Amino acid sequence: MAAQTEQLCRLLREEGVSVYYLQTNLPYKPAWVSNLVGLRAVFRLMAYFSRLWKFLDQIDVVHLMSNSGWSWHLFSAPVIWLGYWRGKPVIVNYRGGKADQFLKKSSIWLKPTLGKASSLVVPSGFLEQVFENHGFEAMVIPNIIDTERFRPFLQPQFRPPAKDALAPARITDCRDDSKTWKIIVVRNLEAIYGIDTAIQAIAALKDDGFRLHLSIAGSGPEEFKLKNLIAKLQLQDDVTLLGRLDREQVQSLYHEADIFVNASRVDNMPNSLLESMACGLAIVTTNAGGIPWMVTDEETALMVNVDDHLGMAIAIKRLMEDDGLRGRLQNQGLELIQQYRWDRVKQQWLRLYDEACDNMNVKAIG
């Protein structure tokens, strides 16, 4: 969500839109407040609402990035009510793979609050369906992928770009199977992302005699457990935990890789899946959450069940052995990713901003 927010702010400013960016995790002021466990949250909330109140004097519409759990109750719901009381339209841009669980527990609290929002926007058909099942109407505006940054690394296996600058680059089938296959995972080291499943799949493939290496980019609370698993499976030379990488480093990692693996147990619309597709990688992913709304099995990715490390190993093996399958998934992925380009998504956001302002003016007059 942070990456999408930062990117959206930058792209809107490039379109000439004035954007005020308000973070929920503002630095503590004064700095010594950070040592006051419990009270520091109160200081952060006070600073957040103070800046929000000032921003509401300067803006036409609020674009609220929101998620489940306590972050909704602490940071999202108050923004909607403040916007309503100040006569400012609030567009709720909800994200999060645990929406169904959250709505089951908190629907009674969400209904009056969302009723004061200008509109509810979600990034996938999966979340649209989840909200509809709980009686909420949402519209879909997809995530944005910077196809200038995330694009195939043009080596001999790639055909030259088509004359049409908007047409996706295409990939031919000419990999050297004698080399070590480079497989990557780009997810935080959290239990919901199933990194352990990907590691177990690598262990199964190593037992079959394949030459491959798994690089995992991300940090998180599961690091210690994953290191122990790697040691237990004797994969110290076959799996590398890279830690958190910046965007340039992630881009380089995509360009150096052959196959992207996503083993998540809970998910909505993982950005790393879109970025890897835009970089021309063949994908193996679980069918968790909203992923089947993003990619199609055997067409733009190979999908396996959650926690099925043997199924994941078989899917990776298919990509290493079948040049035609790998190339087909790559090319169809590049075509699919075009719908996430900024020149297509921006029209949807700008239109929604205009409608929100117009509707608020009508209400004010009425």
Q: What pLDDT score does 226 carry? A: 97
CATH says 181-340 is which class? Answer: alpha beta
How many other β-carbons are positioned within 10 Å of the β-carbon of residue 57? 8
List Cβ neighbours of 97 (8 Å cut-off, separation of 6 or more): 192, 264, 266, 267, 268, 288, 289, 290
Q: What is the pLDDT of residues 281-291, one digit of tens each?
A: 999 999 998 89
Q: What pLDDT score does 169 carry? A: 47
If pLDDT is split at 50, 70 and 90, which confidence band does 5 have? confident
Which residue has better confidence, 171 or 75?
75
Q: Give the architecture (CATH level 2) of 2-20+59-144+342-365.
A: 3-Layer(aba) Sandwich (3.40)
**Contact at 8 Å (CB) between 53 and 318?**
no
Q: What pLDDT score does 187 carry? A: 95
Q: What pLDDT score does 364 carry? A: 42
Ordered by start, the domain boundaries in the chain are 2-20+59-144+342-365, 181-340
Q: What pLDDT score does 23 carry? A: 78
Mean pLDDT of the chain, nearest integer: 86
**Domains 2-20+59-144+342-365 and 181-340 agree in fold:** yes
Mean pLDDT across 260-273: 92
If pLDDT is split at 50, 70 and 90, which confidence band does 178 have? low
**Contact at 8 Å (CB) between 260 and 282?**
yes
